Amino acid sequence: MNFNLPFRDKILRFLGPTRMIALSFVLVILVGSVLLWLPIAQNPGMRASYLNSLFVATSATCVTGLMPFAVIDQYNLIGQTVLIFLMQIGGLGLMSLLALFLTLMRRKLNFSEKKMLQDSLNKNDADNIPNFLKSIFRYTFIFEGIGMGLLALRFIPEYGLAQGLYNSVFLSISAFCNAGLDNLTRSSLMAYTSDPLINFTVCGLIITGGLGFAVWFDLRRILPEKKKLSWKRLWTRLSLHSRLVLVVTGILLGSGTLIVLLVEYGNPNTLGWMNFPQKIMAAFFQSTTLRTAGFSTIDFALLKDASLFIMLFYMIIGGSPGGTAGGIKTTTFSMLFVLIISEIRDSGNMTLFKRTLPSSTFHRAFAITLTYACIMVIAIFLLTLTEPQIGFLPLAFEAFSAIATVGLSAGVTPLLSALGKIVIIMLMYIGRVGPITIVLSLMRMKQNRKTNNLVYPHGDVLIG
């Protein structure tokens, strides 16, 4: 270590961007857990254990939404405000917030800090990081502000001016950050199942947060040209990443809505009692919340097993890179799909939208997916040992929901033992920082790999 460097450079070079990002989430979780554990943050007569406080802090910071109890029952105004900050910091990242503060203080970011932010923001380069950060926060507050205004139209008449505005802020931040927490009822948003304003506002916030900021910046770039160019031409002006994200997100939302509608259509405990427009709205909401949001307008404990099973795959796909959603990401799933199609067609080149994709992209996608699969096998195995009284499918649903930072539950979370909660805490943390650390580790290994000109003899392995 070079002791002539400034202290912040020494820390960054010693830990590296990957560890700094991971440790920043640990720091926020630990501070948040202590604050939530304090009696001043809890309702009179309520005293959560430190493990439950750690669970809640992890869920909020990792923008998941799994809870061992209802927010409204356990936490007062102070506790709920702590949750707001944890969700906002968790959604945008502590490193991004610190960098923005330094930028506003007119302190120039050094190269190491820019590299760390480039990694944490899923940015292709380190150019113009300060302006990129400002744009992220500007868009965040614009979307959250619009959401708060729309939600206030419903909550102010229901709760009064002060409480209605506060509830609107809480839910808007939670929805945009895909956190899945609410301070309204003990049953998520089930009281608003047939309310179009709440349903479509929350869905809009979930989708905007889950698309990723790169997509919004790309849309902002081309929309001024809409008067000069046709929609088809505008579409081709979008980057490959943006087009892929928009197409896959649309397919997942549409197919998810159709599957929930068909499977649960006659279930009297979920969609069966609704009229047809309400069925479509509820099905669309559940499909949207599978994008790692965690809200629900129906009781997931009463869903058919077929619905729970197919939802596992939608949850693990998650949202898109550079946004507030979790999962392996829509682009990772797309790369696996393209790889399979290329193998079936026996095509030498792997292409998408008439663009050839590098093999390293597929290697990363496969590595991320395989890592997630291995972690899930271990986690579900442990949960079946620690929670023998709970069925396999609800446990698997809980584990998938945790690692994909979704926050949906089939009624399992309050029933978990201490060891079960620890497993879920680890899954939520891995799900939030995992994709970043895996990709960065692979990139760093490639960069640090020494050139080796030694070529070994060819070998064959039978597959399938």
Angstrom distance (rounded) from CA 265 to CA 189: 20
- The range of the structural domain enclosing residue 161 comes to 9-442
Let me know if residue 447 belongs to a domain: no
Average pLDDT over residues 40-53: 94
| 462: in domain | no
pTM greater than 0.85 (yes/no): yes
Selected residue with higher pLDDT from 198 and 436:
198
Range of 1-15, 429-443, 444-458 with top mean pLDDT:
429-443
Tell whether 1 is covered by a domain: no
Residue 449 within a domain: no
Per-residue pLDDT, averaged over 351-355, amounts to: 81
- Quick: pLDDT tens for 143-191: 999 999 999 999 999 999 999 999 999 999 999 999 999 999 999 999 9
What percent of the chain is helix, strand and coil (3-state, nearest 5)?
A: 70, 0, 30
Give the chain's domain count: 1
* C-alpha to C-alpha distance for 185 and 73, rounded to whole angstroms: 9
Residue 219 included in any domain: yes
Distance CA 207, CA 319 (A): 8
Domain membership flag for residue 458: no
At 202, list the tokens.
Answer: 């929350």
Q: Which comes out higher in pLDDT, residue 307 or 456?
A: 307
pLDDT above 90 for 206: yes
